[in-house]
Amino acid sequence: MSLAGKVAIVTGSGRGLGLSYAQELARRGASVVVNDVDAEAAADAVAAVEAVGGRAVPVVAPVGPTETATELVNAAVDRFGRLDVLVTNAGVLRDTVLWKMSDDDFDTVVTVHLRGTFTTAREAVRHMRQAGEGGRIICIGSPTGQRGNFGQTNYAAAKAGIVGMVRTWALELARAGITANAVVPVAATAMTATVPYFAAAVRAEANGEPMPQFFRQQLGFGTADDAAGLVAFLSSDAAAAVTGQVIGVGGDRLQIWTHPEAALTAHREGGWTYDALCQEWPSTFAAAAQSVGERFPDLPGEFRPATS
């Protein structure tokens, strides 16, 4: 199903996953507003979109401020006459453990990821509702927002918040024919290139070699382009009934993440007092306690990083 005639904004699309999303949308016929804080990266992204036969216009600005959101929507409407799709991909990292994390570390990540998603979605939705032709909001999440990750308090909070907003927006926007979904990609990018566990996969991709099947199949870890098809699908008329979903994609794997549900429910007449919990927790509740963080299988020997 073609995206011909549709117009999309992709934040953080100067490189990496965002650029792959922009190019795939263009291949399917959409015109694209690309965005980056680096003017050269934004210009290169425009050229990359045009190289696959698409049309693009750059907006060089950091997401987060309302002014940037307005500029992005205005660019879409002024240059291409409409707005159908918003992909909120822009992000930064400021990783450190809780007791070392500064206010600036926290605020910077939350501003770009969470506030940036909010402000751009709000501005896009205002236009889409007024236009009356529906639309697509696609927000980029992370496994860290689903399960947590050591040293990423700020990033985990922002990505978990994005999922909460998406589920809320799916309810609020349904009558306007606007869908809202979150995509959770796992791919070889600048953010994963420094993780030793993924070194063999990142090296293969950098060398233009096929990524080993262990990564693509068992880990659902692939290239940025592997995640782009899902973004294009969610942008299309074929996905008109898909909303409020959190969908993981990477390598050869696609996953639909569950909405949080109670893992165990128990009742006690008179309520759960301190003494009752001390007595009952080990036998009734401990086995249902949920794991945290990602748990990866042991790397096969040929993919293990060399040790000095």
Name the residues annotated as catalytic: 155
Instruction: Assess contact for 234 and 183: CB atoms under 8 A.
Output: yes
One-letter amino acid for residue 185 of the chain: P
What residues contact residue 45 under an 8 Å CB cut-off, 6+ apart? 13, 14, 15, 18, 19, 22, 34, 36, 56, 58
CA–CA distance, 254 with 14 (Å, rounded to integer): 25
What residues contact residue 40 under an 8 Å CB cut-off, 6+ apart? none
Give the phi and the psi of residue 150 in degrees, each rounded to 5.
Answer: -55, 130
Helix axes 224-235, 16-27, angle to 10 degrees: 50
Q: Please list the alpha-helical segments (H only) found in the chain.
A: 16-27, 39-51, 66-80, 103-110, 116-131, 143-147, 153-173, 199-206, 213, 224-235, 274-280
Cα 70–Cα 112–Cα 195 angle in degrees, nearest 5 = 145
